[in-house]
């Protein structure tokens, strides 16, 4: 869904997750492993319900919905995934670990999230925040509007108001 590529990281997401769980005196149980594998199999924005349904569709019934939710929280704490904006009120997640910094365009009509990266934006933010003595080490930007596909969608017939 995106061509931003990957950032090379020394540990796999699963290794990093296992390390984090160890610091919390927890284990990477089989259900948790199934969830982390599924999440890092492809780079997609996802929500917890979709993920739970997908796992059930694959016959992974022993992963309960509550395990999916809890594992997602743990993965966020471990710095593997992050929450992004919520088109249509849904809570959406994406990879954070091993994935380059990027921003999102969010379509208010279809809820699509599109990614982009622009170095100029970054340098403008550095200048603006630096002027206030702020040392920036990251940013998030969400741009709202209507995507190209929705803009191309056929228009409805004129109603009376349009004709006046
Ligand atoms: Zn759209
Ligand atoms: Zn993204």
**Structural domains of the chain ordered from first start:** 1-100 (1.10.10.10), 101-153 (3.30.1490.190)
> Ligand 1 centroid vs 63 CA: distance in angstroms?
33
Measure the CA–CA gap between 143 and 123, rounded to whole angstroms: 18
> Ligand 1 centroid vs 149 CA: distance in angstroms?
6
Ligand with the closest atom to the CA of 87: 1
Q: Where are the alpha helices (DSSP H) in the chain?
A: 13-23, 30-41, 48-57, 65-77, 119-130, 148-152, 160-163
Q: Output DSSP code: residue 157.
A: P
> Ligand 1 centroid vs 48 CA: distance in angstroms?
22
Ligand with the closest atom to the CA of 104: 2
Measure the CA–CA gap between 144 and 107, rounded to whole angstroms: 6
Measure the CA–CA gap between 148 and 107, rounded to whole angstroms: 9
Ligand with the closest atom to the CA of 145: 1
Give bridge partners of residue 83 from the DSSP assignment: 93
Residue 125 φ/ψ, nearest 5 degrees? -65, -40
Both tokens assigned to 146? 């209507």
Measure the CA–CA gap between 147 and 84, rounded to whole angstroms: 17
Both tokens assigned to 34? 């199934």
For ligand 1, a single-atom ion, the residues with CB < 5 A are: 107, 109-110, 112, 147, 150
Per-residue pLDDT tens listing for the chain (164 residues):
455 766 677 789 999 999 999 999 999 999 999 999 999 987 788 989 989 988 888 876 678 999 999 999 999 999 999 988 776 677 889 988 888 888 999 998 988 889 999 999 999 999 999 999 999 988 889 899 999 999 997 766 555 555 55
> Ligand 2 centroid vs 37 CA: distance in angstroms?
18
> Ligand 2 centroid vs 20 CA: distance in angstroms?
23
Residue 114 φ/ψ, nearest 5 degrees? -120, 145
Question: Do residues 33 and 14 lie in contact, with contact meaning Cβ atoms separated by under 8 Å?
Answer: yes
Task: Write the CA distances from 52 to 27, 42, 68, 111, integer angstroms.
Answer: 21, 15, 6, 20
């Amino acid at each position: 869904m995106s061509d931003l590529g990957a950032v090379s990281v020394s540990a796999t997401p699963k290794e990093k997750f296992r390390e984090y769980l160890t610091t919390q005196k927890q284990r990477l149980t089989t259900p948790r492993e199934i969830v982390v594998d599924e999440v890092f199999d492809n780079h997609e924005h996802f929500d917890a319900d979709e993920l739970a349904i997908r796992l059930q569709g694959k016959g992974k019934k022993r992963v309960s919905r509550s395990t999916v939710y809890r594992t997602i929280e743990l993965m966020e704490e471990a710095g593997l995934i992050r929450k992004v904006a919520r088109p249509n009120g849904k809570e959406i997640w994406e990879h954070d670990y091993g994935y380059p910094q990027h921003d999102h365009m969010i379509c208010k009509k279809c809820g699509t999230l599109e990614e982009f990266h622009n170095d100029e934006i970054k340098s403008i933010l550095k200048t603006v925040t630096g002027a206030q003595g702020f040392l920036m080490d990251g940013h998030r930007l969400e741009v709202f509007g209507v995507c190209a596909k929705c803009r191309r969608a056929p228009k409805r017939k004129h109603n009376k108001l349009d004709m006046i």
